[in-house]
Chains A and B, each alone.
Chain A
Amino acid sequence: MPIESVNDFVLRFANVNGSGSASANEMFARAVMRMGIPVSPRNIFPSNIQGLPTWYEVRVSEAGHLGARGGTDFMVAMNPQTWDKDVASIEPGGYLFYDSTKPMPSGKFRDDITVIGVPLTAICNSQYTDPRQRQLFKNIIYVGALSALLDMDVAVLEKLIGEQYKGKEKLIQPNIHALHLGRDYALQHLTCPIGLKLQHSDGVGDRILIEGNSAAALGAVYGGATVCAWYPITPSSSLAEAFTSHCKRLRTDPETKQNRYAIVQAEDELASIGMVIGAAWNGARSFTSTSGPGISLMQEFLGLAYFAEVPAVVFDVQRAGPSTGMPTRTQQCDLINCAYASHGDTKHILLLPEDPAEAFEFGATAFDLADRLQTPVFVMLDLDIGMNQRLCRPLRWDDSRVYDRGKVMTAAELEAGKDFGRYLDVDGDGIPYRTYPATHPTKGSYFTRGTSRDRYARYTEEGGAYVDNMQRLLRKFDTAKDLVPRPLRANCEKPTRFGVIYFGSTSPAMDEAIAMLSAQGQHLDRLRLRAFPFHHTVDDFISEHDFIFVVEQNRDAQMRSLIVNECGIDPARLIPVLHYDGTPITARFITGAIGDRLDTLKVTPLRKAAS
């Protein structure tokens, strides 16, 4: 039986990289959102510019589930290279849409799916002579056909075309024409609509559709960053590029047309972090964006920033490692590399946004935290959040907010004779005062170094002074626990011995999994971590449950290690749930993994039963 569903299915476009399909596919996804239906698009792409397979998956979910679901109900198979695999991946009862210009042998299809052929190439060739036009309009034509098959409101698509080509009016009519070529063909030759339908809904509200990298970059603009130094690396490049375009729009001096920012594409990641540290030492808010291999290269400098206590903000858009790994696939695999970056005893602040809205918030807050704590702060994105458009609450900014520049001693304070010891803990929170260079002609200067020094920044190799300093750094890290974003807890309706800890891009899949588990009668309390170091409520949550699942997207259960290590928890109580094949984690996976374990854990142990 063909699948029947309104506003709840997964549609996947299988394309060839570089064929211009991305903008047509995105237009389709945005049209779904405009119809008020929650939508979650994802790019699945290779490390390649042109020629290799690429997919664009659109999950439509009236219920608002934004995590990847797994499986495909409707396949737009535009890539002969991946045809067999694409056809095989369709759910039983699903639909296959293909270009029927050339006849396909019947063995290339399946009996249990509905096959829909549209002669896209033939339509294009009859309308256009320019090869590039033939290629680009083919994408719009299939969107037009989809609009008829799925019973979409075509006015929404027409409006989007108008908006997309605003300022290039000449392109509007040809695109609308192409849209209708496809739509009209489907209406005339095919059964429309099919079992899958899109109907106007009110499930979107005031939410926006934005990529995490763009939102994080906007966070850096709002957070007052003026210096950005970066080196291109997937999947983080679009963060620095978004910062560049946001700044052009939002940070140009209206009178002089000069830039209130400086962006350097550095020669490598070492130089990037060096520039960030140099700028921050000199009182400017600065950041870099990178991915795992870049973090590896920055290790030495990160230790310097930790030990010399220089603020720095690093956006790490994580991808699958180790080494070059799978550079275009998502993971949460840099946690330990960032949390304990560099040689010697180091600990760093990590922020763990769940979506673009939080990437914006944490992107801005990271600069306050870095200045307050005088230390590197990592914003841990991943490819799933960073390079996909995600439906999320609108970005908000409180105009009464003032940047927290931390403890910076002023010329007036120095002049008044206030005691300045660069590494002197005057307030008991482990955070000393600093001065910016050139503050005062004769007071407050100091020599910043990565070598050991006393409380007044004088070089020393005395063991006592070294230990004193290292202990203060620990106190500072304790202070951080109350300053970083707190974990968010949600209890299930009934008391339970089981809990689940998760973070970052796992969030939407976890929300859905909790609902699925609950429907099966399996109840868990949950805690979403939003930062490292852990707030004491993490310890509380763990102590209140017998077993806690720790769900993460890496092989080695890195977050679980951090919890065991930092909270001193018996590892036996923390059950790893690990997804690391490079695809985003799904609710189906979590439900399966947790559901199975819950059943075994619920069996009363023999010893206990006998006693």
Chain B
Amino acid sequence: MTYLTKPKFQHPDLPKNALGYTHRDYEGKISTLCAGCGHDSITAAVVEACYELSIEPHRVAKISGIGCSSKTPDYFLGNSHGFNSVHGRMPSVLTGANLANRDLIYLGVSGDGDSASIGLGQFAHCIRRGVNMLYMVENNGVYGLTKGQFSATADRGSKSKRGAVNSDNAIDLAALALQLGASFVARSFSGDKTQLVPLIKAALEHKGAAFIDCISPCVAFNNHAGSTRSFDYVREHNEAVNHLDFITGREEIKVDYEPGSVELVKQHDGSTLALRKLAKDYNVNNRLAAMSYLLERNAAGEVVTGLLYVDPESDDMHAGMNTVAQPLNSLSDKDLCPGSSALDKINAALR
């Protein structure tokens, strides 16, 4: 980390997006994480994705739990409200926030300790409720802030920095998310920004529960030989199933790739995802196939990345609840209070 304050000075010719904002308008405070931390690359990818989508920063609510990853929402989108809540409980806070105002963009940031150990229950229930959000786990397989204990996503047989071998089985959060009904599931790598940025963009635009498991090596405690979450290991074993170029629906689709190598996935809201296929015969709309592919390649020691599954007909929690279109937090007293005459009738029925 650095102790220098971020300079406010910026180049006058810095490029601007459709809203007239520059990159700087999507940044937050200076990171206090270790130099070289994978999480900072994810932060940069979030900034890039929001900038490219021309999202109004204040329309995003950033919610996190506790841990290194959960600190990162302070480092991007400085004009957004953020909520660094309780360890493992980001999903419930995000769900409540979403219930209150369905119009905002919800970005839940969590880690593998936060989501796979203490918060596994809330992770599961938040996904199965179909909360409209991007739920991103910055997954390093280790507890950073408490100095290097294994997390529940650490692979069986992987070695800690102190040499201990993990004898417990790993939880695959992407596989779990698929089983639990997430309508958008991806895995990526903090070291591969070209893959990660479009995935974040697509997930932010997705209606429903979008989950990204982002492998993010911990340079302080989990970047050594014998670790399966080190930069070197992930680079060597990364098997991407596709490369996503996110294209909004209003624009004409221009594909420069070889015929047959690109898949166009039409979304519910009219937008289209253009996918460059890397794994032959991988079908991004097949939940069952995705689950079995993940398990199969995992057994072979590969880290499968890319857009693993998307449901083009997805919907969210509010649809199931039949809530009014207007955000609940903006309903007036008149909309909410039935008044004295209704109460008189209730009293009469209780006599």
A residues at B contact (CB < 8 Å): 33-34, 206-210, 218, 221-222, 224, 226-227, 229, 250-251, 253, 256-264, 266-268, 270-284, 286, 300-301, 304, 394-399, 401-403, 435-442, 445-451, 459
Contacts and interface: CB of A to CB of B under 8 A. Distances in A.
24 contacts: A33-B351, A206-B347, A227-B99, A258-B324, A259-B321, A259-B324, A261-B323, A264-B129, A267-B122, A274-B85, A274-B122, A275-B96, A278-B63, A279-B100, A281-B100, A396-B343, A398-B340, A399-B340, A437-B104, A438-B61, A439-B58, A447-B73, A447-B74, A459-B74
B96 A438 contact: no
B115 to A, nearest CB: 14
Contact of A250 (B98, B323, B338): B338
Given A266-B125, A275-B96, 14 more contacts: A224-B337, A251-B336, A259-B324, A261-B323, A262-B321, A271-B121, A279-B97, A279-B99, A281-B100, A282-B104, A301-B89, A402-B333, A445-B78, A459-B74
Contacts of A396: 340, 343
Contacts of B44: none
A371 B100 CA distance: 15
Given A271-B122, A399-B339, A304 B80 contact: no
Given A253-B324, A394-B347, A438-B59, A283 B121 contact: no
B110 interface: no
B interface, over-half SS: helix
Given A227-B96, A260-B328, A284-B328, A437 B347 contact: no
Contacts of B321: 259, 262-263
B96 A267 contact: no
A401 B343 CA distance: 14
Contacts of B85: 274, 277-278, 304, 448, 450
B324 A283 contact: no
Nearest to A303: B86
Interface in B82-120: 82-86, 89, 91-101, 103-104
Given A264-B95, A271-B92, A281 B340 contact: no
Contacts, number: 224
Nearest to A227: B99
A271 B340 CA distance: 34
A284 B329 CA distance: 4
A256 B324 contact: yes
B56 interface: yes
A262 B56 contact: no
B325 interface: yes
The range of chain B's interface size is: 35 or more
Contacts of B82: 445-448
Contacts of A286: 96, 99-100
B299 interface: no
A437 B336 contact: no
Contacts of B124: 267
Contacts of A437: 58, 61, 80-81, 97, 101, 104
Contact of B343 (A253, A275, A397, A438): A397
B79 interface: yes
B217 interface: no
B141 interface: no
A258 B331 CA distance: 13
Nearest to A253: B324
Contact of B92 (A275, A398, A441): A275
Given A262-B321, A268-B121, A278 B97 contact: yes
B23 to A, nearest CB: 16
A226 B89 contact: no
B198 interface: no
B322 interface: yes
A455 B332 CA distance: 31
A437 B93 CA distance: 14
Given A259-B323, A301-B89, A398-B340, A278 B84 contact: no
Contacts of B100: 226-227, 278-284, 286
Contacts of B91: 271, 274
A393 to B, nearest CB: 9
A30 B125 CA distance: 43
Given A226-B331, A445-B80, A278 B336 contact: no
Contacts of A274: 85-86, 89, 91-93, 95-96, 122
B346 interface: yes
A446 B336 CA distance: 28
Nearest to B105: A438
B312 interface: no
Contacts of B99: 226-227, 262, 264, 275, 278-279, 284, 286
B286 to A, nearest CB: 28
B96 to A, nearest CB: 3
Contact of B333 (A221, A278, A403, A435): A403
A301 B58 contact: no
B114 to A, nearest CB: 13
A39 B340 CA distance: 26
A207 B325 CA distance: 39
A226 B336 CA distance: 8
B14 interface: no
A7 to B, nearest CB: 18
A300 B93 CA distance: 13
A268 to B, nearest CB: 7
B340 A208 contact: no
B53 to A, nearest CB: 16
Interface in B200-234: none
B93 A218 contact: no
Contact of A395 (B74, B98, B121, B346): B346
A304 B103 CA distance: 25
Nearest to B96: A278
